[in-house]
Amino acid sequence: MSTEPDTSEVYLNGEFIPLGEACVPVMDRGFLFGDGVYELIPVYGGRPFRLSQHMERLDNSLGSVRMENPLQLDAWERIFARLTGSIPDIDQLLYLQVTRGVDRTRNHLFPQGGEPTVFVMAWTAEPRDPDISGKGIAAVVLEDNRWHRCDIKATALLGNVLLRQAAQDAGAAEAILVRDGLVTEGSSTNPFVVQDGEILTPPASNRLLRGITRDLVLELARGVDMPCAERHITRDELETADELWISSSSREVQPVTLLDGKPVGEGVPGALWRRIDDLFQDYKAHL
* For the chain, the helix, strand and coil percentages under 3-state DSSP, each to the nearest 5: 30, 30, 40
Q: Which of 61, 84, 117, 213 binds ligand PMP (CB under 6 A)?
A: 213
Q: Which is nearer to ligand PMP, 99 or 248 (CB)?
A: 248
Task: Evaluate whether 257 touches 251 at the Cβ level (below 8 Å).
Answer: no
Q: Which is nearer to ligand PMP, 102 or 163 (CB)?
A: 163
Residue 190 contacts ligand PMP per CB under 6 A? yes
Q: State phi, psi for 133 to the nearest 5 degrees.
A: -70, -25
Specify the 3-state DSSP secondary structure of 174.
Answer: strand
Whether 153 is catalytic is yes
Tell me how far, at minimum, the Cβ of 189 lies from ligand PMP, in Å. 5
CB neighbourhood size of 69 (10 A)? 17
Question: Considering only residues 90-149, where is the footprint of ligand PMP by CB under 6 A?
Answer: none
Residue 189 contacts ligand PMP per CB under 6 A? yes
Tell me how far, at minimum, the Cβ of 242 lies from ligand PMP, in Å. 22
Q: State phi, psi for 285 to the nearest 5 degrees.
A: -70, -20
Q: Total residues at the site for ligand PMP (CB under 6 A)? A: 14
Task: Evaluate whether 96 touches 120 at the Cβ level (below 8 Å).
Answer: yes
Nearest C-alpha neighbor of 117 from the set 232, 35, 9, 230: 35
Question: Considering only residues 18-47, where is the footprint of ligand PMP by CB under 6 A?
Answer: 40
The pattern of x and - marking residues 153 through 172 that bind ligand PMP according to CB under 6 A reads -------x------------
Q: Which of 212, 238, 258, 276 binds ligand PMP (CB under 6 A)?
A: 212
Tell me how far, at minimum, the Cβ of 210 lies from ligand PMP, in Å. 8
Residue 256 contacts ligand PMP per CB under 6 A? no
Question: Considering only residues 234-253, where is the footprint of ligand PMP by CB under 6 A?
Answer: 247-249
Q: Which of 185, 221, 244, 253 binds ligand PMP (CB under 6 A)?
A: 185
Residue 254 contacts ligand PMP per CB under 6 A? no
Task: Report the distance separating Cα 195 and Cα 191, nearest Å.
Answer: 13
CB-based contacts of 127, cutoff 8 Å, min separation 6: none
Residue 257 contacts ligand PMP per CB under 6 A? no
Specify the 3-state DSSP secondary structure of 270.
Answer: coil
Nearest C-alpha neighbor of 182 from the set 148, 147, 231, 139: 231
Quick one: three-class SS letters along 95-115? Answer: EEEEECCECCCCCCCCCCCCC
Interface with ligand PMP (CB under 6 A): 40, 160, 185, 188-190, 209, 211-214, 247-249
Residues recognised as catalytic: 153
